[in-house]
Amino acid sequence: MRVAFSWLGRRWLDASAFVAVVVLLGLLVHVVRVHRAAYSTQVVVSRSGGLPAFHAIAKSEVTLSRTQTVAGSFAKVEDTLGKYTPAPIAAGTVLTADSLEADPSLLADLNGRSILKIPLKAGVSDPDPRPSRCVSLLVTPRPDAKTTQPVVIKNVVLLGIRHDGDSTLASVALLPDQLTAIGSLLGSANVFVVWPAA
């Protein structure tokens, strides 16, 4: 026993160094495991300029990339194809399940239409928050406008209404002739949403 203590006394520095190396190796392994867990291969937006709102995602617009793990992300490109985002998404963004929606009928309704945000009269509320239903827009000239007749634009796809302070904006999808009709009036008219009859 005395020999063992004598040996340990002579070798305490070596023993301390060995223990320190083992502890450091354990910490290094732990850090590597945590780092690997924090990164994974996920679907990200690769399209230059990002994805516009209400646009069906195509295979050429997304790619797999090893990035910091985001909850709800996709591991396969195929899981995102044909879906859309209600808001624009920047290039390099990891796509998540809660940022994408799938509604083929909505995308069919939007075919050939341009999406436009237009100011509405304050206080308008949206009785049905779901997109893809047709409404009409009543465009009434202001007193100082050159035109005096109101215009009704039918068959407009309403995508949503957003309140921002005192202003109210509607996202609508318009056909080319509708866009032309409303484009010359927006600066000098008030716009109201006319909901379809129940």
**pLDDT < 70 stretches in the chain:** 1-18, 29-37, 122-132, 145-148, 197-198
Closest-CA residue to 62 (of 73, 71, 179): 73
Q: Which residue from 127, 135, 138, 124 is spatially nearest to 182, judged by alpha carbons?
A: 138
107 burial level (CB within 10 Å; 0-12, 13-18, 19+): middle
Q: Report the pLDDT value the prediction gives residue 138, as an integer from 0 to 100.
A: 86
| E strand segments, 127-184 | 133-141, 151-164, 167-174
What CATH number does the domain located at 39-103 have?
3.90.1210.10
The domain spans of the chain are 39-103, 105-194
pLDDT tens column, 48-92? 999 998 889 999 999 999 999 899 999 999 999 999 998 899 999
Q: Give me the pLDDT at residue 37, please.
A: 57
